[in-house]
Amino acid sequence: MGRYELEYPKDKDNSVKRYNQLASYSLRTIHGIVNSAQFVNLSFNPPNSPFPVILPMIGQMGSFDRPSADDGDPLDLYVHGYVSSRLMNLSRDGNGDGDGEHPAGMPVCASATHVDGLVLALSSFSHNYNYRSAILFGHATLVQDPDEKLWAMELITNSVVPDRWRHSRLPVTSAELQSTALLKVRIASASSKIRDGQAEDPRADLENEAAVGSIWTGVLPVHQTIGEPLPGPNNRVDLPGYIAEYRSSFNEDGREHSINAANNK
Amino acid sequence: MGRYELEYPKDKDNSVKRYNQLASYSLRTIHGIVNSAQFVNLSFNPPNSPFPVILPMIGQMGSFDRPSADDGDPLDLYVHGYVSSRLMNLSRDGNGDGDGEHPAGMPVCASATHVDGLVLALSSFSHNYNYRSAILFGHATLVQDPDEKLWAMELITNSVVPDRWRHSRLPVTSAELQSTALLKVRIASASSKIRDGQAEDPRADLENEAAVGSIWTGVLPVHQTIGEPLPGPNNRVDLPGYIAEYRSSFNEDGREHSINAANNK
């Protein structure tokens, strides 16, 4: 780690306008929100439609050129999805050959959001969520180098369950590699917002004895839970330690994070 | 309820192209996914930027004209958000006065996604998620009728915790109503995808004795959990029943749903 935290420069696309005291442009913060989320949403503009499209996809940020990079370093976003034929066709354009509609890649927005708590105030209008949200802008291209594709599949698989890649059926077949399409998003700018803490009521509400004496205020902490593993019909193996440990740390970390968010720690 | 389930007509915007056996166009299914999600993502195109923007917002579907409508009926989407000044400015255009860039309202895409499980197969390339995902296209306008605004705030507040509205500080002040901006999205088309069940391995992998004998396959069910309520510093009230009951049914329903999804029930 260096002596300072890198930040995305503010520009007209990524500058947070409202509640900007909640904003962060730190690479470590933004990449950490994406890399701890179970999926990202990718938005793009299909041709001949007035509407942008949002697709939920499995994604992870990393650096193929510098695999030892961590969340604080410049990273690319790799995504793998199922509903993506339109997206894949559009981004086929932008693979450096200079032709097609999007020579630099297709402009996309990626976002990742964690809900950490429901914040119940005296007035409905003061209700809020504790959350962490990242938004990234960039250009998407199809990954074509087979080595990069293999590396990115390992990155994405291990983001679902850490260490799953080397515990799955290997080696990868060439048919698997050919039939799988991955997108790489080069990030142009990004920002994040984090809301934590307790309910904030205006003074007038806090001085309203009838309200304060009758309305429960506080935070309902929220986190994702992984339940009891359900072996498939063809499974013959006891649950391995790396899965059991991931489940237990995922659940404990999530629970703790939601409580710390409410307590502003 | 009628004798049949209404569906959104398929058009070029909403037709699911890949894995279309997972698709549903049923209003009840799509609206149910949105109305049980803690937030929706809204995507739109800001002026003078190549990138669409995704904003996470609190939203709920309902019908102001027919408040008794349920998830199977035609509904509008109401959203309330914090990062939305650009969005609000853009949709101010489209309030029926026929001028501005978007006379019918701003074209937006809304999406809601639930992760129900991590599906671990023999090969990394056969891994999957169990999920429910809805995507809706429509035109967003600012809600200007004070009665509709009040009704929509009640709808949205009760989507955070059922019955919270009438247990919060009332009546609403005119300052609260004036300072709050809500968007209404009239839905043009929509679709959903639901993946459930166990891991599906190709025959070649199932015949690979070394793989089947060593790799755990199955589903790690995933659901959102509401933890122990954390009263705020100004709270003087015991936790009311409607909050305790919501927490307990939310947690139990989520747990059961994730297990049923894996078991394809």
Residue in A122, A124, A156 to test binding to B, most B beta-carbons within 10 Å? A124
A99 CB contacts (<8 Å, ≥6 apart)? A93
pLDDT tens digit sequence for B162-193:
999 999 999 999 999 988 999 999 999 999 99
A109·B53 Cβ contact <8 A:
yes
Query: Taking the CA of residue A192 as centre, how many other CA atoms within 13 Å lie in the half-sphere pointing to its CB?
Result: 22
Q: What is the pLDDT of residue A18?
A: 72
pLDDT reading at B132 higher than 90? yes
> Could you report the per-residue pLDDT of A23-42, keeping only the tens digit for each?
999 999 999 999 999 999 99
Mean pLDDT, chain A, whole residue set: 92
Average pLDDT, whole number, for chain B? Answer: 91
In this complex, which of B39, B206, B236 lies closest to A115 when CB atoms are compared?
Answer: B39
d(CA B255, CA B249): 10
Pairing of strands A76-80, A53-62: antiparallel
Say what the pLDDT of residue A21 is.
Answer: 80
Decide if B164 and A127 are in contact by the 8 Å CB cutoff: yes
Please answer yes or no on whether B213 and A237 come within 8 Å at the CB atom. Answer: yes
**Residue A111, pLDDT score:** 98
Which residues numbered 161-180 in A keep a CB inside 8 Å of some CB on B?
161, 164-165, 167-169, 172, 176, 179-180
Q: Please identify among residues 234-253 of chain A the ones whose CB lies closer than 8 Å to any CB of chain B.
A: 234-240, 243, 247
CB within 8 Å: A221 and B223:
no
Helical H segments across chain A, by residue range: 27-35, 85-92, 146-160, 174-179, 203-206, 209-212, 241-262
Residue A186 CA, chain-centre distance (Å), reads 15
pLDDT tier for residue B102 given thresholds of 50, 70 and 90: confident
The share of chain A scoring above pLDDT 70, in percent, equals 91
**C-beta atoms of A226 and B225 within 8 A:** no
What is the rounded CA–CA span in Å between residue B205 and residue A171? 12
Query: Which chain B residues touch A122 with a CB distance below 8 Å?
Result: 168-169
Question: Over 50: is that where the pLDDT of B83 sits?
Answer: no
Nearest-by-Cβ selection for B54 from A39, A43, A125:
A43
Q: Which of A52-61, A80-89, B62-71 has the lowest mean pLDDT?
A: A80-89
Please check whether residue B221 touches A, CB under 8 A. yes
The pLDDT assigned to B13 comes to: 85
The pLDDT of residue A83: 41
Which among B38, B118, B239 has CB closest to A160?
Answer: B118
Write the pLDDT tens digit of every residue in B197-255.
Answer: 999 999 999 999 999 999 999 999 999 999 999 999 999 999 999 999 999 999 999 99
Helix (H, G, I), strand (E, B), or coil: what is residue B173? coil
Helix (H) or strand (E) holding B27: helix B27-35
Cα A135 from chain centre: 9
Q: Is the pLDDT of residue A175 over 60?
A: yes
Question: What residues of chain A lie within 8 A of the CB of B131, using their CB?
Answer: 39, 56
Chain B contacts in chain A segment 192-211 (CB below 8 A):
193, 198-199, 201, 205-206, 208, 211
The residues, ordered by sequence, that sit 6+ positions from B2 with a Cβ below 8 Å of its Cβ are B72
b/e string for A168-207 if b means 16 or more Cβ within 10 A? bbeebeeebeeebbbbbbebbbbbbbbbbbbbebbeebee
- Inter-chain touch B225–A228, beta carbons under 8 Å: no
Gyration radius of chain B's alpha carbons: 21
**CA–CA distances in Å: residue B145 to residues A9, B101, B149:** 40, 22, 6
Q: What is the model's pLDDT at position B63?
A: 98
When mean pLDDT is compared across A72-86, A222-236, B217-231, the lowest value belongs to A72-86
Q: State the average pLDDT over residues A80-84.
A: 59
Distance separating alpha carbons of residues B74 and B53, to the nearest angstrom: 27
- Interface check for A21 against chain B (CB to CB < 8 A): the answer is no
Inspect the interface and report whether the beta carbons of A220 and B243 lie closer than 8 Å: yes
Instruction: Write the DSSP assignment of A45-70 as a string of letters.
Output: --TT-SS-EEEEEEEEEE-SSSTT--
Partner-chain contact B107 A220, CB within 8 Å: no
pLDDT confidence of residue B248 = 98
Under an 8 A CB cutoff, do B19 and A82 touch? Answer: yes
Confidence of residue A19 (pLDDT cuts 50, 70, 90): confident
Distances (CA, A) of B220 to A40, A227, A230, A247, B163: 19, 6, 6, 8, 33
Query: What is the per-residue pLDDT across A113-137, written as a single tens digit (0 to 9) for each?
Result: 999 999 999 999 999 999 999 999 9
Find all residues with CB under 8 Å of A186, minimum gap 6, and list them. Answer: A76, A105, A138, A139, A141
Identify all chain B residues contacting A30, using CB atoms and an 8 Å cutoff. Answer: none
pLDDT value at residue B50: 93
Round to whole Å and give the CA distance between B253 and B249: 6
Q: Which residue of B has its CA nearest to A125?
A: B176
Which residue of chain A comes nearest to B81, CA vs CA?
A: A128
Percent of chain B with pLDDT over 90: 80
Q: How does B88-120 read in b/e, with b if 16+ C-beta sit within 10 Å?
A: bebbbbbbeeeeeebebbbbbbbbbbbbbbbbb
Answer whether A222 sits within 8 Å of B224, measured CB to CB. yes
User: CB B230 to CB A208 under 8 A?
Assistant: no
Strand partners for A61 = A77
